[in-house]
């Protein structure tokens, strides 16, 4: 029963975030969850931060930043298509 409640609550929170922020920010935050998990696990659980883990976290964070900061191309729906 507890898993059902947390599943429903997290889904409801995600829907509210998408509604209020648009889809790109919640998507970027979701992609950063492995980074946040590793960063929190190091001090709380004593997990080692190896060079491979640090590289992986840096690649994930830079990929998310690149995606989030890349301007999107706006397409005018009234523009005629040229072939």
Residue 3, in any domain of the structure: no
pLDDT in tens, 4-29: 788 888 889 888 888 887 777 777 77
The structural domain count of the chain equals: 1
Residue 9, in any domain of the structure: no
Residue 75, in any domain of the structure: no
The pLDDT of residue 52? 95
Residue 63, in any domain of the structure: yes
pLDDT in tens, 60-71: 999 988 887 776
Residue 23, in any domain of the structure: yes
Range of the domain at 44: 16-68
Tell me the C-alpha distance between 43 and 48, whole Å. Answer: 9
Residue 7, in any domain of the structure: no
Give the DSSP per-residue string, the chain: -HHHHHHHHHHHHHHHHHHHH-SHHHHHHHHTHHHHHHHHHHHHH-----HHHHHHHHHHHHHHHHHHHSPPPP--TTSPPP-
Q: Where is pLDDT greater, at 65 or 3?
A: 65
């Amino acid at each position: 029963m507890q898993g059902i409640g947390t599943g429903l609550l997290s889904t409801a929170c995600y829907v509210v975030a998408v509604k209020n922020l648009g889809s790109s920010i919640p998507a970027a935050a979701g992609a950063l969850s492995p980074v946040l998990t590793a960063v929190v696990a190091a001090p709380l659980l004593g997990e080692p931060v190896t060079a491979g883990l640090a590289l992986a976290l840096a690649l994930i964070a830079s990929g998310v930043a690149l995606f989030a900061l890349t301007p999107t191309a706006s397409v005018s729906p009234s523009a005629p298509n040229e072939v």
